Amino acid sequence: MTDATVNIPTAAFRPGTSDAEIEAAAAKAAAHRRHTVTFWRLGILVVFLALWEIAGRMAWIDPFFYAMPSSIAGRLYEWITEGTSEGPLWYHLYVTMEESVLGFVTGSVAGIIIGVALGRNRMAADIFSIYIKVINSIPRVVLAPIFIMILGLGLASKVALAFVMVFFVVFHNAFQGVREADRAMIANARILGASDWQLTRSVIVPSAMSWIFASLHVSFGFAIIGAIVGEFVGSRYGIGLLINIAKGSFDAAGMYAAIVIVMVVALGAEYLMTMVENRLAKWRPQPLHETQ
């Protein structure tokens, strides 16, 4: 039986260990685990950036194309303190954010409303599904030139592009979420006296909510893509414009700096979204942690 004893984890408890001891040991193990995770996360980032920098300086890769972390940081610093060649960085960021947020909000509201409506109405779903499939098969970015032609170089064309990027994702999830709603739960609500509207509002939508939230997570990123691609194709302001100008002047550091900005913003949005979701989903079971 020596094999078995080898496999017992180091945190095994003697008989008669008190609850307090077990809890203390578990808290310690959890803290240790957290530290290890943070350490490796930071470590990998540092190693990656260092390798990049060294490779650039030793001319293993051409910094003209690949830039270097130091030159990217320098460009970011310059943009933040002195502004870009096209005016202050904050204004460009503000424009891109405004376009993304407007597209995200309108796209997801429309997606939820139409998704729920079609999910509840079989006939309408059967009729419209073919059109949705057809429109959905268009790669969204090819719409950018059309929107810019129709709506001009300003805000509206970018919002429209962000909208179509977001709408289909949210629509599909809302639709599916409604279809997956538990049938016994629906029957229960109806027998308890729910009208069609009450059923939709207090049973169907809440039960589709986890599906909808899953789509909202990815779709803010899509909204940013829409806004930036739109700016890329034609605009006077925005992060997409900065990338375009950097490209035109062969300024690799500028392009990467713009990417970093977008990355930070997208991560921030994702963090916010998770917070809201956790708030709304407090009814969901939390996993129990095993004391190992």
Partner 1 sequence: MAVEKTAPAIELINVSRRFLSPTGKSLTAIRDFTMTVERGEFVAVVGPTGCGKSTTLNLVTGLASPSAGEVRVMGAPVKGIDPRIGFVFQTDALFPWRTVIENVMAGPLFRGRPRAQAQASARDWLARVGLARFEQHYPHQLSGGMRKRVALAQTFINGPEILLMDEPFSALDVQTRVLMHEELLRLWSEAKASVVFVTHDLEEAIALADKVYVLTAGPATVKSVYTIDLPRPRVVADIRYEQRFIDYSRTIWADLKEEVETSYARAAA
CB of 117 to partner 1, least distance (A): 21
Contact 125/211 with Cβ under 8 angstroms? no
Q: How far is the CB of 199 from partner 1 (least distance, A)?
A: 9
> How many residues appear in the chain?
292
Between 282 and 289, whose beta carbon lies closer to partner 1?
A: 282
* Contacts of 115 by beta carbon, 8 Å cutoff, 6+ apart: 170, 171, 172, 173, 174, 175, 177, 178, 208, 212
Find the shortest distance in angstroms from Cβ 197 to partner 1. 11
Q: Are 96 and 231 in contact (CB under 8 A)?
A: yes
Please identify, using beta-carbon distances, which residue of 85 and 188 lies nearer to partner 1: 188
Nearest to partner 1 of 160, 208 (CB atom): 208
Which of 251, 244, 246, 215 has its CA nearest to residue 228?
Answer: 244
Question: How far apart, in Å, are the Cα atoms of 19 and each of 31, 69, 81?
Answer: 18, 50, 56
Which residue lies nearer to partner 1 by CB, 139 or 287?
287
Nearest distance from C-beta of residue 7 to partner 1, angstroms: 33
Residues at the site binding partner 1, with contacts judged by CB under 8 A: 182, 184-185, 187-195, 198, 202-203, 206-207, 209, 282-285
- Could you tell me the smallest distance in angstroms from the CB atom of residue 216 to partner 1? 17
In the complex, what is the shortest distance from the CB of residue 201 to partner 1, in angstroms, rounded to a whole number?
11
Q: With respect to partner 1, which residue has the nearer C-beta, 156 or 194?
A: 194
The CA distance from 157 to 49, in Å, is 37
Residue with tokens 């077990």: 22
Which one, 14 or 183, has the nearer CB to partner 1? 183
- In the block, tokens 């779709």 appear at 219
Give Dmax over CA atoms of the chain in angstroms. 78
